[in-house]
Amino acid sequence: MSFTIAIDGPAAAGKGTISKEVARIFGLAHLDTGLLYRATGARRLEGMSPIEAAEALRPEDLEREDLRSADVARAASEVAAIPEVRAALVDFQRAFARRQGGAVLDGRDIGTVICPEAEVKLYVTASDNIRANRRWRELVSKGATTSPEAVLADLRERDARDQARATAPLRPAVDAVLLDTSEMSIEDAVARACEIIRASR
Ligand code: C5P
């Protein structure tokens, strides 16, 4: 039997860490769907057509070292607004979600478009300033030189584009449980996510 957990939300709200931990704790496979758009965006930056890049994407492309950069993040959110790019990535995500033993998928449209039948849907948020601060500390710890203000501007631009696009915009599914991590440590956020999941199993 397949068991799917859909975790959506804006950038740097904590969904990546929560998803990884939840997958580990419940013994489920995990797919960070942002990587599909990042890998497509990276190809776009190299001059490839985004639709062709999405259609030709292979699992090993998700392992590229440069997918976490700010340039790739911006390119990802640009290609993610193209309906044909999104369409090219649907089957891979749905097949992953149905795998034996269950799966956790995190992204922007998992609960609304990719897996509307998911057994559990979480929508993870945090205030803009807190998200920007977390992402800024993460970037600086990896050696990047940037300011919290620049990171905040970047996140806001990306969220606005993700929320405004016509195809699969970022928004909570009607049956998603909201998890605001603004005042929570990452441990508390993971514990709360686990409670919600156990309650719906
Ligand atoms: O989650 P992450 O920040 O890696 O995603 C990068 C970009 O990919 C997002 O800003 C969004 O535009 C796009 N994305 C999407 N749908 C998903 C996952 C990511 O549109 N399911």
Quote the mean pLDDT of the chain: 96
The segment with the largest mean pLDDT, out of 29-43, 60-74, 141-155, is: 29-43
Residues with CB under 6 A from ligand 1: 11, 33-34, 37-38, 73, 76-77, 80, 107-110, 158, 162
CA of 32 to the centre of ligand 1 (A): 9
pLDDT above 90: percentage of residues in the chain: 93
Residue nearest to atom 9 of ligand 1 (CA): 77
Show the domains of the chain with their CATH numbers. Answer: 4-194 (3.40.50.300)
Burial track 53-77 (b if 16+ CB lie within 10 A, e otherwise): bbeebeeebbeeeebebeebbebbb
Annotated binding site for ATP: 9-17
Mean pLDDT of 144-154: 93
CB 3 within 8 A of CB 117: no
In a 13 Å sphere around the CA of 87, the CA atoms on its Cβ side amount to 6
CB 53 within 8 A of CB 37: no
